[in-house]
Structure 1
């Protein structure tokens, strides 16, 4: 049996996934009061709860991986910039599509990538959290589609803002930084 990721790497991944979950939850929370359509507000509200559940499970798991309780770790800079672009969207359709068509599928890709990298036996609690998150992501994407006429449909062609967002996430290949923070490395290693 080969253990693919060590405990620190697992904690880094869990912390990064938690950071992204919290960021998405907070972004949705900021969008709700600024969104005029009641149905979209309701949809975003449901998703805030789902993202909060993911963040909570990841935060508790971080402690089990010898990181602080509710540990969050920023993603790679290009990925963080793409998240900021998502948060800056102001049009309702761009927000709905930016979250459901762009951000959620990319987050799901990173959960699947983590599952491919970790050992399913020694890291079973995290794999169970990832599997649950993937189900919730699929549910959120499905809710966007099944709410039908109540949610504004996507445009036939993407707006400039949505095209730029897709490109920003495409350019951000990696989300998780597995290197140890400088403060955590021994003094000899920093020299």
Structure 2
């Protein structure tokens, strides 16, 4: 088993590969996603890290799930154990979202080790995607809004809700908030969780 840390995921190269495979120009993809073509260009050049909601808009326009986007080739039989350095970072550089077994074929759930620095946010645009999600706060505190209901959770507290309801995560504390979450089907890594940042 390889215990070396995974290379950072090249979001720009992967997006360009998928866009070209579908015969789309940057302008056409941007039009379908409802964003500027300069945004697509900057993402492809890795000059900006898109928020999860922005990445979801772009991938929905292809259409490609987040799971498919981040999946690579699983070199052999899927492994049952993953060292910390083997988790795939799908965060944006400020917010850390480390996905367990990202390259496992036919994965039916997403397990994510999330870290929200103080002030980080999933974005003003509420998230909505198919499935259910839940998590347990390991440390720090997080404000979660689900369909208008707001809860502030601390270490040991948990959440579970229908992901089709509009939702948002914000770290309103003064220390990192760490959460271990799961969702099924894996729509969040399928276009689920945002790169939560302000």
Greater relative CO, 1 or 2 (CA 8 Å, sep 6+): 1
**Greater share of strand residues, 1 or 2?**
2
- TM-score (normalizing by structure 1): 0.26
- TM-score calculated relative to the size of structure 2: 0.26
**Higher helix share goes to which structure?**
1
